[in-house]
Amino acid sequence: MDILSDDGTQLAERISNWEDIFSRPRYQKDVDHDAVQLVRILGHYTMEEVGSCGLSNCHQPHKKGFLVLCKPQNGLANHFETNIGNQCGKNIFGVTFDEQTKNYNIERNTILYRDSLVDAICKVDDFRQRVHVLLKDEGGEAAYARVRNAIKIRGIDRSLVSKLERRAKNGDVEVFLRIAATKRDIDLEESRMGRKLSAEELEDLTQHESLGRISGVRAVTNYEKIKSELKVELPQLLDELDELKPEELLYNDLKSWSKRIGDLDSRFREVEKCIDDCKRFSVASNIEFINANKEWI
């Protein structure tokens, strides 16, 4: 569990068990909830073992709850900490507790979002280098061009491209020769069953002989991602990221940026897969196989 500082602007140490809570310098148990005011939630915990609520009228064993900062109603003593269970907090502090829970989540996430954004900004040059490597060193630009040319300029007609797109969507890479049942086979089966065969039964008599597999068929549907990601979207994102000042952003902007940068690594990995698909698809022997067996694709 991440612990917020008293002002909610920093994450302090983490706690992982009940002893971490009970041994905190400001912790108090047997707290009279009528004599205190809830200042803020410092942390939300989930423990493996049950522990007691810190309120004097409760002591309910629980695993999920909150470390909270309180102050006396009379204001004569310093702030102190105690712990309360999920339900106890809602039942006793009501709307105030719900508001504090929301505030805790916002404050904690604001810190985490800002930290991740700062980390991403520090890596902008590394990301730009990764874009360059994928385009040039890893052959992304050339792989894109070969597939584009094969599909739009030469080698594969539009009707065949549509079939390949369906195969890419379904992950269907193996091509089979369809051998229909002979009249003799049909007559023998109908004689055995004593009736005419249905269309489904006739299809069951059809044999399928594997002719081979289409390499990198996903390239047909995803090759344009190489250009859109590496030449447009990622460079634009990195330029925007480079200009950001995280310390000036508010929660909603930080949240939005956190989503945008949160999938950067997965986007790079997906582009790497696209490049690999394009390389395998555009091999001459693969294109020849597709054209030679287009009747069965």
Percent of the chain with pLDDT over 70: 98
Asked whether residue 235 carries a pLDDT value surpassing 90, the answer given is yes
pTM here is 0.75
Per residue in 162-179, pLDDT (tens digit) is 999 999 999 999 999 988
Instruction: Give me the pLDDT at residue 197, please.
Output: 84
Instruction: Give me the pLDDT at residue 158, please.
Output: 77
Mean pLDDT of the chain: 90
Residues 194-198 have a mean pLDDT of: 87
Per residue in 38-54, pLDDT (tens digit) is 888 999 899 999 999 99
Q: What is the DSSP annotation of the chain?
A: -EEE-TTSSSEEEE--SHHHHHTSTTB--SB-GGGEEEEEEEEEEEEEEEEE-SBTTT--EEEEEEEEEEEETT--S--EEEEEEHHHHHHHHTHHHHHHHHHHHHHHHHHHHHHHHHHHHHTHHHHHHHHHIIIIIT-HHHHHHHHHHHHHTSSS-HHHHHHHHHHHHHT--EEEEEEPPPHHHHHHHHHHHTSPPPHHHHHHT-EEEEEEE-TTTTHHHHTHHHHIIIIIIHHHHHHHHHH--GGG--HHHHHHHHHHHHTHHHHHHHHHHHHHHHHHHTSHHHHHHHHHTGGG-
Asked whether residue 95 carries a pLDDT value surpassing 60, the answer given is no
Per residue in 107-117, pLDDT (tens digit) is 999 999 999 99
Quickly state the pLDDT bin for 155 (edges 50, 70, 90).
low
